[in-house]
Amino acid sequence: MVGANNGRIRPAFPALNGSRDLTPSSVGSENGAVEFTREDVEALLSERIKYKSKFDYKERCENMMDYIKRLRLCIRWFQELELDYAFEQEKLRNASTTAEKHCADMELSLRNKEEELNIIVEELRRNFTAVQERLTKEQSDKLAAIDSLEKEKEARVAVEKAQAALAEELGKAQGDLQIANQRIQSINDMYKLLQEYNSSLQLYNSKLQGDLDEAHEAIKRGEKDRTVIVESIGNLKGQHKALQDQLAASKASQEEITKQKEELVNEVAGLKVEFQHIKDERDCRIVEVQNLQAEATKYSDLKNTINELETKYSSQNSQIKELQDQLAATERRLQVSDLSVFEKMNEYEGQKEVANELKSRLEEAELKLIEGEKLRKKLHNTILELKGNIRVFCRVRPLLPGESSSDEGKAISYPTSLEELGRGVDLVQNGQNHSFTFDKVFAHRASQEEVFVEISQLVQSALDGYKVCIFAYGQTGSGKTYTMMGKPGNPEEKGLIPRCLEQIFQTKQSLRSQGWKYEMQVSMLEIYNETIRDLLSKNKEAARADNGISPQKYSIKHDANGCTHVSDLNVLDVRSTREVTFLLDHAARNRSVGKTQMNEQSSRSHFVFTLRISGINENTEQQVQGVLNLIDLAGSERLSKSGSTGDRLKETQAINRSLSSLGDVIFALAKREDHVPFRNSKLTYLLQPCLGGDSKTLMFVNISPEPSSTGESLCSLRFASRVNACEIGTPRRQTNLRPLDYRLSLG
């Protein structure tokens, strides 16, 4: 995830006005990995929820659930980003330690070699001094002999013999001196080479130091981002706490309403008691009035008193009416309060039911998603099986600078009928037209993206647990390596191998939400002169030895499940597209290339890229084992066309023998013969499970648009046409399902 932007999606956050365009499941399953920028996080934290209605609690609940889901998605991305940063930091530390250790070892070996060379130089200097002393002594002896010859004429014959002997010894001494000079010259040359090696080592050391500084800067940036993420998480926790406070306030308001209800009930009870007292008093007053009216006839002087009592009675009646009105108003308030409390309780129960219903629908949707994924894999592989297990695509190489489409039109054309549109190609040679039909034909204008779209479903089969093999066939200069690898440094022209890896790692990230975890292993080899070479070997001499003979012997074995294993081959675990790209560059530098009449840099070997995929689903405990083989074959041109001589001649003969063996195998499979000669070459024996087993195989036949290459193009198209008529067994998915899960799947 760190440092790779390909395939990432910056989610757009709509306002919370009822729309739910963004959910964790839709983002994780359809768009691959989610990436949040600082602006996205700040927008999410500063977002304010808007509602159409203040009392629409269902809408508020849905919007709040949507907002919480996006917060969880953001937190989960922060956690994954932090884990990736920690992993990248540890990886950079290990690489730095390894580089420093390697540099120290190189410096130690350099010091040892310098000491050895100094010892040799000292010894040679001592020998040279001894020889010079001997030569000086012999010259002095010679002068003494000449003087004695002049003084003693009588012993001339003896002196001449001595002189001859001295001359012979002088010749020997001069020969020894020349040999010593030659050895000193060779030592000086070795010392110069050593100085050059020391300077290159210093450059490499400085480069490693620069990479280490960049790694330290990346670690610092990661720590800064981590600090920002921690602050964002703290803000998210603050918002979560604020939401909890709002919920507590809502509960407190509900309790307060309940208390008000109880107070109103008590007040109504008190008013009822007071009303009863007033009613009893009124009855008493009425009795008194009646008694007074009875006595009025007897006591006329009490009339005024009776009037006063009547006035008091009327006033008491008015008071009673007022109290009755107050009692009615209080009862109405109590009813309204009861209705409000009842409505809120019903609303709360409704929201609870909606939440339970949404939870059950979410669980049901997750189950349907898992079942839909199983059905998709089944239908996807059924479609590929109906299309044919060995499929053949034809691609005309894109035009190079200096080539015109008019030249290509003279030799190659494409039928326009509905039956053959996009599937047919016509080749004209010596005035004769040759027509061919394949599963798909790409003209020279087809882009790398258009070619990859046609094989993307086949790559998906490798993640589903199938063995998949895609190989490119054609003459040198027909665009095989361009189709498989693309043009370095140009993202628009990436080949099938980089695009396949991007799709696999993106799908791996998107399937995490469904419980899938994958492990990837990569191996790369080449078959050169019928000899297997490990292109990922750290020992460069082991990967490429003199005379095309590798000191390491590799043997090919096939197990009972149809999987191919090469003994002692480096198989490396990979976790990202960046790691695989680094390994591809390392393998490209170790691959055997040479100059021919067809191309300045021609691949002189068959390149085999293998990606082993192991997956397990933590929810269903289902396991899958898939293999993706991507093969760039060497040029198929005839010997007379390539014009190879010397070592190139041996290489061309070995390439033609292996491709001829591939043709024999294809034709034997097409005729359904009992014996198929897979062991006739290392290439066919390595591809045996793909060609004669249960693998899904696709061949790209690449042809050149140049009119001068029509002969080789015709041979390639004829070979591809026979391959297209070949049928192999039905592919099997490599899965492992526990008995309980198996019974569930049957049920």
* pLDDT (average), residues 159-169: 67
For residue 734, name the pLDDT band (cuts at 50, 70, 90): low
Q: Mean pLDDT for the chain?
A: 76
Residue 36: pLDDT band by 50, 70, 90 thresholds? Answer: confident
pLDDT tens digits for 252-296? 766 777 787 777 778 777 777 877 887 787 788 788 777 766 765
Q: What is the pLDDT of residues 94-132, one digit of tens each?
A: 887 887 888 788 778 778 877 887 888 787 778 777 777
Q: Which two tokens stand for residue 499?
A: 């695009």
Q: Domain range for residue 541?
A: 389-746
Distance CA 627, CA 469 (A): 8
> Which of the residue ranges 151-160, 575-584, 609-618 would you say has the lowest mean pLDDT?
151-160
The pLDDT-based confidence of 408 (bands split at 50, 70, 90) is low
In a domain, 196, yes or no: yes
Q: What is the pLDDT of residue 318?
A: 81
Cβ neighbour number for residue 435 with a 10 Å cutoff: 12
pLDDT digits 0-9 by tens, 509-554 = 988 888 889 999 999 999 988 889 999 887 655 445 444 444 577 8
**Rounded Cα–Cα distance for residues 505 and 483 (Å):** 20
Q: Are residues 352 and 475 in the same domain?
A: no
Q: Residues 434, 356: one domain? A: no
The token duo for 561 is: 């499940």
Q: Regarding predicted confidence, which is higher, 276 or 167?
A: 276
* Total number of domains constituting the chain: 3
**Predicted confidence (pLDDT) at residue 164 exceeds the cutoff of 90:** no
Predicted confidence at residue 473, as pLDDT, reads 92
Higher pLDDT: 407 or 125? It is 125
pLDDT of residue 390: 78
> CA-to-CA distance for 121 and 278, rounded, in angstroms?
135
- pLDDT for 17 beyond 80: no
Q: What is the dihedral of CA 202, 205, 209, 212, to 10 degrees?
A: 170
Does the pTM surpass 0.85? The reply is no
Indicate whether 592 pLDDT > 70.
Answer: no
**Residue 380 located in a structural domain:** no
| Residue-wise pLDDT tens digits, 374-387 | 655 555 555 545 44
pLDDT category of residue 613 using cuts at 50, 70 and 90: very high
In a domain, 163, yes or no: yes
Say how many C-beta atoms besides its own lie within 10 A of residue 215's C-beta. 18
Question: Is residue 58 a part of any domain in this protein?
Answer: no
pLDDT at 31: 41
Per-residue pLDDT, 492? 86
Note whether 452 and 511 are same-domain residues.
Answer: yes
- Indicate which CATH number applies to the domain containing 421: 3.40.850.10
Shared domain check, 162 and 291: no
Q: What is the pLDDT of residues 546-586, one digit of tens each?
A: 444 445 778 888 887 777 888 888 999 999 888 888 888 88
CB 440 within 8 A of CB 422: yes
Q: Examine the domain organization and report whether 396 and 354 are in the same domain.
A: no
Q: For residue 433, which phi and psi values (nearest 5 degrees)?
A: -95, 130
CB contact at 8 A, 555 and 535: no
Specify the pLDDT at position 162. Answer: 58
Residues 269 and 407 in one domain: no
Whole-number Å distance between alpha carbons of 714 and 712:
5
Q: Is residue 485 part of a domain?
A: yes
513 & 458 share domain: yes
- Asked whether residue 171 falls in the same domain as residue 318, the answer is no
The pLDDT score that the predictor gives to residue 728 is 63
* Residue 76 CB burial class (10 angstroms; 0-12, 13-18, ≥19): middle
Q: Would you say residue 20 lies in a domain?
A: no
pLDDT at res. 157: 67
- Would residue 78 count as lying in a domain? no
Could you tell me if residue 424 is inside a domain? yes
* Ordered alpha helix ranges (H), 402-444: 405-411
| 303, 166: one domain | no
Instruction: Please report which confidence band the pLDDT of residue 700 belongs to, taking 50, 70 and 90 as the band edges.
Output: very high
Instruction: Indicate whether 461 and 362 sit together in one domain.
Output: no
507 and 618 co-located in one domain: yes
pLDDT per residue over 316-337, tens digit each?
778 888 887 888 887 787 777 7
Cα end-to-end span (Å), the chain? 39
pLDDT above 90: percentage of residues in the chain: 10
pLDDT tens sequence across 174-228: 777 777 677 777 776 776 776 777 777 777 777 777 777 776 776 777 777 767 7
Give residue 647's region: left, alpha or beta (phi > 0; psi -120 to 50): alpha
Domain identity same for 189 and 306: no
